[in-house]
Copies of this chain bind each other. A is one copy, B any other.
Amino acid sequence: MNKFEEKTVHTEKVYEGKIIDLEIDDVILPNKKTSKREIVRHPGAVAILAMTGEGKIIMVEQYRKPLGKSIIEIPAGKLEPGEESVKTAARELEEETGYAARQFDFIMSYYTSPGFADEKIELFLAKDLYKVEEQSLGDDDEFVELIELTPTEAIEYIKQERIHDAKTVHAVYYALMKEV
């Protein structure tokens, strides 16, 4: 779909980072005027909706520096170059929670901030879970704590803003509606 397409006439890369890049595009609008678009480039990510045999959603609490607080989220992680996204999902689930799954079903993808970023999250449903090891608390610069919540408890945590990010809010509603 290209309705109201904006043509790029110039791109300036203003920052290249570890996770994100920032570029400024000069564009021509549908009314022929020009404008600037600030665009964050991100490699994309996966998120995993995983439920225990007792019907609890597996989540992790972690500190989010941009927010200045810790929040409770479904397991997630960014894509690595050349890695298939379902493999990233399996790796992140195990690293962050100590759980593995015999099956991963793709649910859907969505962009998180389409106004200024190209980050796309692929959401997977992890089925047939088993415990691999005690939780290893994420990777080198990531510290997470395992938390398991029923969907009803999760709705309460959304009200309290302890769950406070779009992907986790959506996953809780999805779990409640689909009764996965």
Chain A residues at the B interface, C-beta cutoff of 8 Å: 1-6, 8, 14-15, 17-20, 22, 24-25, 27, 29-31, 33, 35-40, 42, 45, 61-67, 69-71, 73, 78, 108-119, 121, 140-141, 143-145, 158-159, 161-162, 164-167, 169-170, 173-174, 176-177
Question: Given B17, B145, B161, which contacts A38 in the complex, CB threshold below 8 Å?
Answer: B17
Tell me the minimal C-beta distance from A61 to chain B in angstroms: 6
Name A's interface SS: mixed
Are the CB atoms of B15 and A114 closer together than 8 Å? no
Closest chain B residue to A1, Cβ basis = B70
Question: Given B3, B108, B144, B173, which contacts A174 in the complex, CB threshold below 8 Å?
Answer: B173
Question: Given B14, B30, B33, which contacts A15 in the complex, CB threshold below 8 Å?
Answer: B14
Tell me the minimal C-beta distance from A176 to chain B in angstroms: 7
A2-B70, A167-B166 in contact; A115/B176 too (CB < 8 A)? no
- Known contacts A17-B24, A45-B115, A64-B111; 9 further A-B pairs (Cβ under 8 A): A3-B63, A25-B65, A71-B111, A108-B169, A113-B113, A114-B165, A116-B119, A117-B117, A173-B173
Are the CB atoms of A18 and B6 closer together than 8 Å? no
- Residue from A1, A17, A18, A174 with most neighbouring chain B CB atoms (10 Å): A1
Question: Given B116, B121, B144, which contacts A166 in the complex, CB threshold below 8 Å?
Answer: B121
Tell me the minimal C-beta distance from A39 to chain B in angstroms: 5
Contacts of A111 in B (CB 8 A): 64, 66-67, 71, 164-166
